[in-house]
Structure 1
Amino acid sequence: MQTRNKYNAQGIDVSHWQCAIDWPKVATSGISFAFIKATQNKINPQFLANVKGAKAAGLMVGAYHYMDDSVTTVDKARAAAQVFYQAIQAAGGVNVFDLPFVLDYESNKQNLSKAALTANAKAFLDEIRRLTGVTPMLYTYPAFIGNFSGLSDYPLWIARYSNQAPVDASGWKHWDFWQYSDGQVGGTLPNGDR
């Protein structure tokens, strides 16, 4: 996969764990976009406020769903997509968002087969594309991406907290977004802050 360069836009992802966010400060740090956690079985309590605050600060905004281990079948994956879509609608609808919708899939504590993980991901992604008319993307990390096959028609957001480019995996030859830092490891903000 390709390496990063200084011309890549930089953004953040946030959830309820960050509590209240000073969005104007985020914007002045050089961040240009934010992916905001919308759902994980229910709407994230900070989601609507974060979307409103990020938009008001002039950031491009995307939303993501965290697929947890309670989703064990394609029917549950489609139901999770419905909850995610409800959050999108509650925030003002598809047109409020500037970035692709995202499925964050990175856990398998139920020890599902690779075929089941792929089927669940595909069911969720297909349902979001059907509901929104927008092609969503998959977020995962290098040690988990091998659980998926046949999904490379969907864009990829890869997490790899280092300066080393992710390797081609499971059919993906490039990333659309690269999460290269967790705030502690991997890099700095555009203004030089951590």
Structure 2
Amino acid sequence: MKLLGRILTVLLLVAVAACGRGPSQSRAVMAGQGVGPKFGDSAPHAWVGGHPYDHPVHGIDISRYQGNIDWNAVRGSGVSFAFIKATEGGDHADPNFRRYWAEAAQARVPRGAYHYFYFCRSGTQQAAWFIQNVPRERGAMPPVIDLEWTPSKTCPRRPPADEVLREARIFKDILQQYYGQRPIIYTTVDFYRDNNLASWREEFWLRSVAGHPRIVYPGQPYTFWQYTGTGVVPGIGGNVDLNVFSGSPAQWRMWLNRRLQ
């Protein structure tokens, strides 16, 4: 009976210690994945249908809200790519874009620029604004068009799907001609469904923070998956969006090499 009591006491202590780990537990899990990333999630989700940590290639997307960034620490943590906010609509540019763009390149972090699309400006106007602010250079990943319903009081419009797709296609065509790479579509669950984006044969970056994309976007191929907005990454203060590339490290190198020519 004494031996049984000791065993039960040990098991109870282990259970209590596990419950008290909090956010650091997710970092330990991720760092324990062989040569995987050394960052985690301050509010980890109980994933069903597949776990983002099963993907070996991780990255971030950022805007001015990340403040000062130690890009060498970011790269050393296992971050393989960064998408940096450049513009939105036809008259707003992220004040940290140029600095992040240069610092990421200096730290040898592959990076691409993204545009937050507004529905009160034409695709032509927004493409011109993006081109005005984002340099055309070898070594950059494809530009991204962020398609989601905007909560802005200055642009509350929700146009019909045919208008959304028409203007977004114009934007993408102009950027492809200028940068030599077809832009990637970033989108959210509600926007994807409301505008029947499943009918659009384009390259996708999907947001899904409560379920694996194969469940949330059934049948939709994707290249990138944004799986949390509460990531914890060395070199960045506060939370940051975390993403994964859909394939293996070898497939990532092939994808990157095709686009950095």
Who is 2:110 aligned against? Answer: 60
Shift of 1:65: 0.4
Aligned length in residues: 179
Who is 2:63 aligned against? Answer: 15
**Match 2:203 to one of 155, 161, 173:** 155
2:129 aligned with 1:83: yes
Which TM-score applies when normalising by structure 2? 0.61
**Can you list the C-alpha shifts for 1:112-163, whole angstroms capped at 9, x where unaligned?**
1111111121111111112112111110011111214476332000000134
2:73 aligned with 1:25: yes
Amino acid at match of 2:132: Q
Larger Rg: 2
2:96 aligned with 1:46: yes
For 1:151 and 1:80, the matched residues in 2 are separated by 23
Amino acid at match of 2:115: H
Who is 2:191 aligned against? Answer: 144
**Match 1:105 to one of 147, 156, 164:** 147
Structure 1 residues 123 and 87: CA distance shift in structure 2, 3 A? same
Contact kept? 1:118, 1:148, Cα under 8 Å: no
Contact kept? 1:101, 1:135, Cα under 8 Å: yes
Shift of 1:95: 1.1
**Match 1:119 to one of 155, 166, 171:** 166
2:137 aligned with 1:94: yes
Which TM-score applies when normalising by structure 1? 0.80
Q: Percent identity?
A: 28
Contact kept? 1:77, 1:120, Cα under 8 Å: yes
Who is 2:225 aligned against? Answer: 178
Shift of 1:167: 4.2
Contact kept? 2:74, 2:233, Cα under 8 Å: no
For 1:6 and 1:80, the matched residues in 2 are separated by 37
Contact kept? 2:206, 2:224, Cα under 8 Å: yes
Structure 1 residues 118 and 150: CA distance shift in structure 2, 3 A? farther
Determine which structure has greater relative contact order: mean sequence separation of CA pairs < 8 Å that are 6+ residues apart, divided by chain length.
2
**Can you list the C-alpha shifts for 1:21-80, whole angstroms capped at 9, x where unaligned?**
221221122111100001113332111100111111121101100112432xxxx21111
Amino acid at match of 1:123: I
Amino acid at match of 2:166: A
Shift of 1:110: 0.6
Amino acid at match of 2:130: F
Structure 1 residues 137 and 61: CA distance shift in structure 2, 3 A? same
Amino acid at match of 2:64: H
For 1:162 and 1:8, the matched residues in 2 are separated by 20
Contact kept? 1:160, 1:166, Cα under 8 Å: no
Contact kept? 1:141, 1:158, Cα under 8 Å: yes
For 1:150 and 1:165, the matched residues in 2 are separated by 13
SS at match of 1:129: helix
Which has the larger share of helix?
Answer: 2
Once superposed, which parts of structure 1, at least 4 consecutive aligned residues long, lie more than 6 Å away? Answer: none
